[in-house]
């Protein structure tokens, strides 16, 4: 249960609500199929990344790897950086964050507002460029830094095994049949998927990734063209769905205007994939994760031209989102 009174903002992480998606799915699913989304934007740092950020820093402190005089540093596409900046502020540790220079203006401002120092890498190199630059900075001064290393730290999926998975199992009363989540570091889908399969091996775990290396889905990785995170193990998945940037953006508009939920583009992609899975079922409970809310992206290309949309177009487009691709195993 949520904490009634907290002594630290870190105690407010987790126990996020589960929302049933009903209007976007209206008329598209069989009566025995339901779709839910976990609203991770409710976390105090505004995203699902609050969970692993707290866990990685806590374990670093326990192991003595993080101690007074050290600086927390990591590469990030934005949300993990915000989470680490928040955790560092709460614990009194300085934070430096390496990110591509083209992450959204809102993310940059939030990171600075928490007192962290942003370091920008080549925008054309995306999250991989930030990873490489971060490694160079640490190599130049290894004693200065503590690197949580979200891409390779098993505390990342462990945070989801210990919190996200149990929450979903409890919130669905053990009825979840399919778990669908985007791939960034891989922590969410690995940790949550492991927990759900430990409760019921029949649960299907399905990953979501962009369909093209030059995508516009901030926070997600196209694995074939990226540095694959050490914590990501595709053999544990039951399938993978690729989603186009256009379809993800259209779903963001639909969720905002039909469900009243403003999310980011990775959440739009997750919903497109969840709907494709649900459309193929006779019965089941499909759960996905909305990694954050959309307020961090209002200055990005996501919202260029959105005014052209009209409510009567949205339901017609749902059939296109579901017809273009299927799960691959």
Closest by Cα among 289, 256, 324 to 24 = 256
* Helices 50-62 and 79-91: angle between axes, nearest 10 degrees: 50
Reported as a pLDDT band with limits 50, 70 and 90, residue 318 is low
This prediction has a pTM of: 0.89
Query: Is the CB of residue 284 less than 8 Å from the CB of residue 32?
Result: yes
Look at residue 316 and tell me whether its pLDDT is greater than 90: no
Written as six digits, the tokens of 175 are: 């009825």
Average pLDDT over residues 175-188: 96
149 vs 52: CA distance, rounded Å: 11
Q: Which of 14-18, 31-35, 97-101, 186-190 has the lowest mean pLDDT?
A: 97-101
Query: Is the CB of residue 220 less than 8 Å from the CB of residue 266?
Result: yes
Average pLDDT over residues 52-80: 94
Written as six digits, the tokens of 320 are: 């296109």
Q: Which residues are catalytic?
A: 49, 266
Reported as a single tens digit per residue, the pLDDT across 279-288 is 999 999 999 9
Written as six digits, the tokens of 10 are: 């870190």
Reported as a single tens digit per residue, the pLDDT across 196-250 is 999 999 999 999 999 988 888 888 889 988 889 999 999 999 999 999 998 999 8
- For the chain, give the mean pLDDT: 91
271 vs 243: CA distance, rounded Å: 10
Buried b (16+ CB within 10 A) or exposed e, 127-153: bbbbbebbeebbeeeeeebbbbbbbeb
Beta bridge partners of 240: 207, 328
Average pLDDT over residues 161-187: 97
Check residues 78 and 112 and name the one with the higher pLDDT.
112
Four-residue CA torsion sign, 152, 81, 70, 117: positive
237 vs 189: CA distance, rounded Å: 9
Look at residue 325 and tell me whether its pLDDT is greater than 50: no
Reported as a single tens digit per residue, the pLDDT across 249-302 is 989 999 998 999 999 999 999 999 999 999 999 999 999 999 999 998 888 888
> Would you state the pLDDT for residue 314?
56
Check residues 157 and 321 and name the one with the higher pLDDT.
157
85 vs 275: CA distance, rounded Å: 34
Domains and CATH numbers, the chain: 9-47+160-307 (3.40.50.1100), 50-146 (3.40.50.1100)
CB under 8 Å to 85, separation ≥6 — which residues?
A: 45, 95, 97, 110, 111, 114, 115, 116
Average pLDDT over residues 131-159: 95
Look at residue 308 and tell me whether its pLDDT is greater than 70: no
> Would you state the pLDDT for residue 302?
83
Reported as a single tens digit per residue, the pLDDT across 155-165 is 999 999 999 99
Average pLDDT over residues 122-143: 91
Average pLDDT over residues 120-145: 92
Query: Is the CB of residue 196 less than 8 Å from the CB of residue 203?
Result: yes
Reported as a pLDDT band with limits 50, 70 and 90, residue 5 is confident
């Amino acid at each position: 249960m949520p904490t009634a009174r907290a002594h630290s903002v870190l105690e407010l992480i987790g126990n996020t609500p589960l929302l049933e998606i009903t209007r976007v799915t209206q008329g598209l699913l069989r009566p025995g199929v339901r779709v839910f989304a976990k609203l991770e934007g409710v976390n105090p740092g505004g995203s699902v990344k609050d969970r692993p950020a707290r866990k990685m820093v806590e374990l670093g402190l326990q192991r003595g790897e993080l101690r007074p005089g050290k600086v927390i540093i990591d590469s990030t596409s934005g949300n993990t950086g915000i989470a680490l900046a928040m955790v560092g502020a709460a614990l009194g540790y300085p934070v430096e964050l390496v990110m591509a220079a083209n992450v959204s203006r809102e993310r940059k401002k939030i990171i600075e507002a928490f007192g962290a120092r942003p370091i920008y890498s080549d925008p054309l190199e995306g999250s991989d460029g930030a990873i490489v630059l971060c490694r160079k900075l640490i190599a130049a001064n290894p004693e200065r830094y503590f690197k949580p290393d979200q891409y390779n730290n098993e505390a990342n999926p462990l945070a989801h095994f210990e919190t996200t998975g149990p929450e979903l199992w409890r919130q669905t009363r053990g009825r979840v049949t399919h778990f669908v989540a985007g791939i960034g570091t891989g922590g969410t889908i690995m940790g949550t998927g492991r927990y759900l399969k430990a409760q019921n091996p029949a649960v299907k775990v399905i990953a979501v990734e962009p369909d093209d290396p030059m995508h516009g889905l901030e926070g997600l990785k196209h694995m074939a063209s990226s540095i694959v995170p050490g914590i990501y193990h595709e053999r544990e998945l039951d399938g993978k769905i690729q989603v186009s940037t256009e379809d993800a953006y259209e779903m963001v508009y639909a969720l905002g205007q039909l469900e009243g939920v403003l999310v980011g583009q990775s959440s739009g992609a997750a919903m497109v994939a969840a709907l494709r899975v649900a459309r193929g079922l006779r019965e089941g409970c499909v759960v996905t994760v909305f990694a954050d809310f959309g307020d961090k992206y209002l200055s990005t290309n996501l919202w260029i031209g959105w005014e052209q949309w009209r409510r009567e177009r949205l339901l017609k487009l749902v059939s296109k989102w579901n017809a273009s691709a299927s799960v691959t195993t």
